[in-house]
């Protein structure tokens, strides 16, 4: 059994509590308890003189290059940072920005203030970037530890972003009552993530206690995004139809315009032939809506096409009903009916010679009108098709980004209310994996000791990066889960990437004691984060 | 003093002042200790099966609180939420260290409460099913169950203890109830 379940356990009595309550024991225990020096607040203040003395002593005693203190946010490779996208926005009007990942930024009017708190007007440069996976986190150099109730955790991330704004090169702030809303695409639908803001002054993450999860089915989300293309920001959450309503709208437009083209094509005037005096003809009153090409002329008669097979006696019947059907070319099928009897004949519309000149004038006029209408409707059809293609291309791009970046059955938004520029994160604090606890002896593949400035452990299936400190070529208490796939990513003191992949890690790992980890050092100066990421496969 | 709002404000500001005083001199922490000892002890005992162990862990909780006090910042939550969070860490640490089975304490009233939430009749058969279903929950879900239905804590306080947000906690509790019902129906 996983849990021991006690039923109706006797409660603690007031007497038992009173006799156990003893602050003297606690304070004695507290005073006797060894507090790690780095957790002591007093150390940082009263002990500053000691720090200086020890630091000087260390520099003198060790014949090693003194390391500069690291910046709070310290990307491991200066040339390989996750780039921010820049947008020029008008501070005086509301703006919506679609980020390449599918995230959306809603910037209200008057959202910016200058350093003195004065409202900013005109063009503003807004910068935005996101960090989604372990590689992004590693390359960001952003500390991912969080202190809660005296215990240090590592953040498991559901997505992190940085937003900032500038005018004339000077950083701006957010107008307090006009916050920016960011809907960031996340790679997980789980609801255990909180929203945190990185307080760079206090050098710590602050829990904002904001709900952030907006799970929406992929199709619905795309529909929502498409809706935004029309300026309608609402997200359809309940619809089950798999086709985007925006796409439907454009498809409808295409259908309508195509139908309009077909309708006008039906109205294409036809030239009426001269009547053949030798052939049988009959007069029919046609519906001008169904057969405008005939109704436009006066005194049109239908001339039998195949005189040889035409039964002339049919002309003597007093037919009660007649139906006309357009065939190919100038041919029409005419069906006469009376009771159960019917008679079919193929005929062409003709005019007597005397009516031809007037008919020609009508034809010329109608044909000009037809051509004008046709070209207008074809232009409308073309426009609708292009609009639809544009929407489909946008959707295809999002689909491909989604497939490439997320590869999940859902697309999820995390919302941030940005009232300060900086880093925001959706995280779940976790304890370091602790199944194995070793002292890592750090070497390269030739067993040469390695000095590391960064050492990170990454477990394949958890989106977090555990940072460790390597001192004098070893790392004490490197903790990991030995049953999982792990990798180590490190940076050497000469700024080279050093890695241990899953297979090597498994081959070298042990659960306790000293473990020699042989790193593969990548002797390359990286110019972009994509270059680094190629080596960070898990 | 009459009026609940003023009273609450007064208590919060007092706690903040007590924390400030204790940060400067740990001996001053005694007032907070005496104020919250009983509630923390009951919180711990709810998660253990021995009174001695619970009281021992409680002392440990306050020691840890004194160590971590410099890092404590008032964020508008009661100081007790911070103590409960330390208590949860301490209880879990103790279970891990001693490799003991995690203990769940439940009484008849709590069983009835859970049953009514999942629209199940309160019978011996259903109770047995509930016990079996609880064995399939993870630590996080057990914590939610304990806080909401055994200790009858409001969502707001649960969120504060868990360093989470209220809506996320609510959603998780509703999902937990669905899960419990689902497991019971399968059995």
The last residue of one of the domains, among A351, A376, A393, is A351
Phi-psi domain of A473 (left: phi exceeds 0; alpha: psi -120 through 50; beta: other) = left
Q: Judge residue A50's burial from the number of C-beta atoms within 10 Å of its C-beta, 0-12 exposed, 13-18 middle, 19 or more buried.
A: exposed
Do A337 and A208 fall within a single domain? no
Q: Do B165 and A209 lie within an 8 Å CB cutoff? A: yes
What is the residue range of A418's domain?
85-240+408-427
Which residues does A280 contact at the CB level (< 8 Å), separation at least 6?
A303, A304, A307, A310, A312, A315
Instruction: Give the confidence band of B56 by pLDDT, cuts at 50, 70, 90.
Output: very high
- CA angle, residues A198, A203, A209, in degrees to nearest 5: 40
Rounded distance, CA A299 to CA A283, Å?
Answer: 8
User: Tens digits of per-residue pLDDT, A144-184?
Assistant: 988 877 678 899 999 999 999 999 888 999 998 999 999 99
Based on the fold, state whether residues A130 and A236 are members of the same structural domain. yes
The partner residue sitting opposite B67, judged by closest CB among A20, A148, A150, is: A150
What value does the CA radius of gyration of chain A take, rounded to a whole number of Å?
A: 40
pLDDT of residue A400: 58
Closest CA to B134 of B98, B101, B92: B101
Closest-CA distance, B168 to chain A, in angstroms, reads 6
Please indicate whether residue B96 or residue A242 has the higher confidence score (pLDDT). B96
Residue A254 domain-assigned? no
**Is the confidence at residue B12, as pLDDT, over 60?**
no
Same-domain check for residues A100 and A210: yes
B124 alpha carbon, distance to own chain's centre: 27
Is B112 within 8 Å of chain A by CB? no
Q: Which residues of B touch A426 (CB under 8 A)?
A: none
- Pick B33's closest partner by Cβ from A17, A26, A195: A26
Q: Which residue has the higher pLDDT, A204 or A149?
A: A204
Instruction: Say if residues A234 and A224 touch (Cβ distance below 8 Å).
Output: yes
Which residues fall within 8 angstroms of residue A274, CB to CB, at 6 or more apart? A350, A351, A352, A353, A356
Calculate mean pLDDT across residues A34-51.
43
B29: contact with A, CB 8 A cutoff: yes
Q: Are residues A230 and A90 part of one domain? A: yes
Asked whether residue A177 falls in the same domain as residue A304, the answer is: no
Contact between A16 and B51 using a beta-carbon 8 Å cutoff: yes
Question: Residue A39 domain-assigned?
Answer: yes
B6/chain A closest Cα distance in angstroms? 25
Model pLDDT, residue A218: 40
> Residue A43 has what pLDDT?
41
Task: Dump pLDDT digits (tens) for A456-466.
Answer: 999 988 999 99
Residue spans per domain, chain B = 4-98, 108-186
Considering only alpha carbons, which residue of chain B is nearest residue A191?
B168
How close does chain A come to B143, measured CA to CA in Å?
12
Mean pLDDT (whole number) for A487-515? 90
DSSP 8-state code for residue A122: S
The answer on pLDDT for B62 being more than 90 is: yes
Chain A with chain B: Cβ pairs closer than 8 A: 141
Q: Are residues A470 and A440 in the same domain?
A: yes
Indicate whether A39 pLDDT > 70.
no
The whole-angstrom separation of Cα A175 and Cα A421 is: 11
Please provide the CATH number assigned to the domain covering B4-98.
Answer: 1.10.1740.10
Which residues from B are below 8 Å from A203, CB to CB?
none
Highest mean pLDDT among A229-238, A313-322, A523-532 belongs to A523-532
Q: What was the pLDDT predicted at A460?
A: 87
Contact A6 B105 (CB under 8 A): yes
Name the phi and psi angles at A156, rounded to 5: -95, 125
**Pair A415, A437 in one domain:** no
pLDDT at residue number B186: 87
Final residue in a domain of this structure, among A366, A398, A427 = A427
Between chains, do B135 and A2 touch, taking CB under 8 Å as contact?
yes
pLDDT for position A107: 95
Q: Which residues are CB-neighbours of B164 under 8 A, at least 6 positions away?
A: A192, A194, A209, B158
The average confidence (pLDDT) of chain A is 80
Q: What is the pLDDT of residue A404?
A: 53
**B152 has a chain A CB within 8 A of its CB:** no
pLDDT of residue A455: 92
Q: Which residues contact A393 (CB under 8 A, 6 or more apart)?
A: none
> Which residues in chain A are contacts of B67 at CB distance < 8 A?
30, 33, 35, 39, 150
Whether residue A90 is predicted with pLDDT greater than 80 in this model: the reply is: yes
A216 and A303 share one domain: no
pLDDT at site A368: 92
Mutate to test the interface with A, among B24, B47, B71 (most CBs of A within 10 A): B71
Is A472 within a domain?
yes
Nearest CA in chain B to A150: B68
With CB atoms and an 8 Å threshold, state whether B142 touches A41.
Answer: no
Question: Can you give the pLDDT at residue B61?
Answer: 94
Q: Hey, is the C-beta of B135 within 8 angstroms of any chain A C-beta? A: yes
Name the residue facing A33 among B23, B67, B82 (closest C-beta): B67
Residue A48 lies inside a defined structural domain of this protein: yes
How would you class A34 by CB atoms within 10 Å of its CB: exposed for 0-12, middle for 13-18, buried for 19 or more?
exposed
Nearest CA in chain A to B92: A431
Cβ separation of B67 and A27 shorter than 8 Å? no
Assess whether A235 and A286 both reside in one domain.
no
As for how many domains chain A has, the answer is 4
Tell me the HSE value of A67 on the side-chain side, using a 13 A CA sphere: 14
The CA distance from B55 to the nearest CA of chain A, in Å, is 7
Cβ of A21 within 8 Å of Cβ of B34? The answer is yes
* Chain A interface disruption, residue of B73, B111, B165, B180, most A CBs within 10 A: B165
Q: Is B92 on the interface with A (CB under 8 A)?
A: no
In a domain, A368, yes or no: no
Together in a domain, A233 and A329: no
DSSP string, chain B: ---HHHHHHHHHHHHHHHHHHHHH-GGGHHHHHHHHHHHHHHHHHTT-S-HHHHHHHHHHHHHHHHHHGGG----SS-HHHHHHHHHHHHHHHHHHHHTPPEEEEE-HHHHHHHHHHTT----HHHHHHHHHHHTTS-HHHHHHHIIIIIS---HHHHHHHHTS-HHHHHHHHHHHHHHHHHHHHH-
Beta bridge partners of A202: none
Same domain, A289 and A151: no
The residue count of chain A comes to 538
Contacts of B136 in chain A (CB under 8 A): 2
Mean pLDDT is highest, among A101-110, A388-397, B3-12, for: A101-110
pLDDT at A346: 93
B42 touches chain A (CB under 8 A): yes
Least-confidence region, from A33-37, A124-128, A430-434, B53-57:
A33-37
**Which stretch, A103-107, A294-298, A314-318, B9-13, has highest mean pLDDT?**
A103-107
A452 and A506 in a single domain? The answer is: yes
Identify which of A268, A337, A272 has the alpha carbon closest to the alpha carbon of residue A303: A272
Q: Min CA distance, A5 vs chain B (Å)? A: 5
Regarding predicted confidence, which is higher, A421 or A101? Answer: A421
């Amino acid at each position: 059994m996983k849990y021991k379940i006690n039923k109706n356990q006797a409660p603690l009595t007031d007497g038992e509590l009173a006799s156990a309550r003893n602050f003297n024991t606690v304070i004695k225990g507290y005073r006797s308890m060894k507090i790690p020096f780095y957790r002591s607040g007093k150390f940082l203040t009263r002990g500053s003189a000691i720090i200086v003395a020890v630091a000087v002593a260390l520099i003198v005693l060790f014949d090693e290059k003194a390391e500069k203190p690291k910046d709070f946010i310290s990307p491991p490779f200066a040339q390989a940072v996750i780039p921010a996208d820049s947008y020029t926005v008008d501070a005086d009007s509301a703006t919506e920005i679609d980020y390449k990942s599918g995230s959306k930024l809603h910037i209200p009017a008057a959202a910016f203030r200058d350093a003195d708190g004065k409202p900013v007007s005109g063009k503003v440069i807004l910068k935005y970037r996101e960090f989604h996976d372990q590689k992004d986190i590693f390359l960001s150099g952003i500390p991912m530890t969080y202190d809660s109730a005296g215990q240090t955790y590592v953040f498991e991330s559901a997505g992190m972003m940085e937003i900032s704004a500038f005018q004339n090169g000077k950083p701006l702030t957010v107008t307090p009552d006009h916050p920016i809303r960011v809907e960031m695409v996340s790679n997980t639908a789980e609801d255990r993530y909180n929203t945190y803001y990185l307080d760079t002054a206090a050098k710590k993450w602050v829990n904002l206690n904001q709900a952030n999860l907006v799970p929406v089915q992929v199709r619905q989300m795309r529909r929502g995004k498409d809706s935004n293309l029309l300026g309608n920001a609402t997200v359809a959450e309940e619809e089950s139809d798999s086709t985007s309503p925006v796409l439907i709208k454009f498809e409808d437009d295409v259908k309508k315009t195509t139908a309009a083209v077909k309708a006008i094509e039906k109205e294409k005037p036809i030239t009426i032939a001269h009547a053949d005096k030798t052939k049988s003809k009959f007069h029919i009153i046609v519906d001008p809506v169904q057969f405008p090409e005939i109704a436009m002329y006066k005194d049109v008669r239908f001339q039998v096409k195949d005189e040889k097979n035409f039964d002339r006696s049919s002309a003597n019947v007093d037919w009660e009903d007649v139906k006309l059907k357009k065939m190919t070319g100038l041919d029409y099928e005419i069906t006469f009916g009376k009771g159960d009897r019917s008679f079919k004949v193929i005929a062409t519309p003709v005019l007597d010679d005397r009516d031809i000149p007037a008919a020609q004038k009508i034809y010329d006029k109608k044909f000009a009108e037809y051509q004008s209408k046709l070209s207008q409707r074809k232009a409308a059809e073309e426009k609708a098709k292009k609009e639809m293609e544009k929407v489909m291309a946008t959707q295809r791009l999002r689909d491909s980004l989604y497939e490439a970046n997320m590869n999940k059955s859902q697309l999820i938004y995390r919302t941030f209310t940005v009232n300060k520029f900086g880093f925001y994160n959706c995280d779940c604090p976790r304890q370091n994996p602790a199944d194995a606890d070793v002292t890592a002896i750090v070497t390269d593949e030739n067993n040469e000791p390695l000095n590391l400035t960064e050492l990170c452990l990454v477990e394949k299936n958890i989106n977090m990066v555990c940072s460790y400190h390597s001192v004098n070529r070893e790392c004490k208490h490197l903790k990991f889960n030995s049953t999982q796939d792990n990798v180590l990513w490190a940076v050497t003191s000469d700024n080279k990437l050093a890695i241990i992949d899953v297979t090597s890690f498994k081959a070298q790992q042990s659960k306790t004691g000293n473990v020699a980890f042989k790193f593969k050092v990548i002797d390359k100066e990286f110019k972009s984060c994509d270059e680094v990421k190629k080596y960070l496969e898990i | 003093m009459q009026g609940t709002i003023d009273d609450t404000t007064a208590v919060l500001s007092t706690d903040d002042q007590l924390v400030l005083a204790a940060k400067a001199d740990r001996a001053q922490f005694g007032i907070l200790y005496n104020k919250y000892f009983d509630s923390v002890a009951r919180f711990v005992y709810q998660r253990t099966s021995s009174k001695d162990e619970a009281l021992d862990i409680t002392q440990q909780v306050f020691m840890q609180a004194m160590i971590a006090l410099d890092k404590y910042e008032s964020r508008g939550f009661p100081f007790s939420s911070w103590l409960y969070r330390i208590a949860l860490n301490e209880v879990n640490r103790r279970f891990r260290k001693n490799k003991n089975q995690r203990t769940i304490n439940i009484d008849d009233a709590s069983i009835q409460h859970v049953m009514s939430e999942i629209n199940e009749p309160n019978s011996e058969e259903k109770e047995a099913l509930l016990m079996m279903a609880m064995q399939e929950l993870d630590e996080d879900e057990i914590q939610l169950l304990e806080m909401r239905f055994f200790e009858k804590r409001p969502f707001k306080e649960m969120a504060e203890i868990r360093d989470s947000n209220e809506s996320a906690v609510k959603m998780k509790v509703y999902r937990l109830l669905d899960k419990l019902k689902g497991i019971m129906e399968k059995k």
